[in-house]
Structure 1
Amino acid sequence: MERDFSKLERLERVKKRVKKIKGFYVHLLVYVVVNLMIVVLNIQDLEPGESYFQYKNFFTLFFWGIGLAVHGLSVFLPDFILGKNWEERKIKQLMEEDKKHWK
């Protein structure tokens, strides 16, 4: 029975990870599509002889890109900030605190 529980637990963790990866790829796709649309609209609004390379044309691309990068780091390098098994350690810590509180 213990082995089955371990397999089920691993399966749930893997499913959760795949869901996070899929979420990142959807985010990336939306980022690319929306920013391409913004580029097209900005090009259409240019005056004759006006350069496209102005800071206002890259505002969304830059700041949303930072958010996308952070999302990617959280998906592909989850141990980078909080360390390995952080969630499990935090759950144990909070369970112990809760146990002491209700004694």
Structure 2
Amino acid sequence: METNFNKNIEEYELQKMASKKVVKLRSFYRHLIIYVIGVLIFVSKEYFGAPLNFFPIKHLNLLIMGVWTVFLVVTAIDLFASYKIFGEEWEERKVKSILEKKSKTQKWE
């Protein structure tokens, strides 16, 4: 028998998961914008010979751009491809199973 209380808990958990997803998306898009700016600076420095020799940009080289690209790709895979593998239905089933386990272990005396 499903009570209104259980529905509220389930709805709260789903809302919490959705808000975490939104925070991850916002963080990824910020990272992507900063990455695009970094690529533009790198290309203008390396290929067009722009005189950008002040501290942080002076050390922007191909190795740093490569590592940064790998981190961005891993973040994108974690955010978008893992959603395809572990989709919304999987998340809902997992939340329900966790809530059921908690309700079974919870003892009312």
Q: Report the CA distance between 1:65 and its aligned residue.
A: 1.0
More RCO (CA 8 Å, sep 6+)? 2
Q: Distance between the aligned counterparts of 1:79 and 1:18, measured in 2?
A: 13
8 Å Cα contact 1:39-1:57 kept in structure 2: no
Matching of residue 21 in structure 1 with residue 40 in structure 2: no
Pick aligned residue for 2:9 from 5, 8, 31:
5
CA RMSD across the alignment: 3.1
Matching of residue 61 in structure 1 with residue 61 in structure 2: no
Q: Distance between the aligned counterparts of 1:31 and 1:61, measured in 2?
A: 9
Aligned pair count reads: 79
Q: 1:68 aligns to what SS in structure 2?
A: helix
Q: Deviations over 1:32-57 (max 9, x none)?
A: 001101222222259xxxxxxxxx96
Q: Report the CA distance between 1:77 and its aligned residue.
A: 2.4
- The amino acid that maps onto 1:77 is A
- The amino acid that maps onto 1:35 is V
In structure 2, the CA distance between the partners of 1:29 and 1:9, relative to structure 1 (3 Å rule), is same
Give the match for residue 32 of structure 1: 36
Q: How high is the sequence identity, in percent, across the aligned residues?
A: 23
Q: Report the CA distance between 1:58 and its aligned residue.
A: 3.8
Give the match for residue 44 of structure 1: 49
Unaligned 5+ residue runs, structure 1? 47-55, 93-103
Unaligned 5+ residue runs, structure 2? 52-59, 99-109
Q: Report the CA distance between 1:31 and its aligned residue.
A: 0.4
In structure 2, the CA distance between the partners of 1:38 and 1:23, relative to structure 1 (3 Å rule), is same
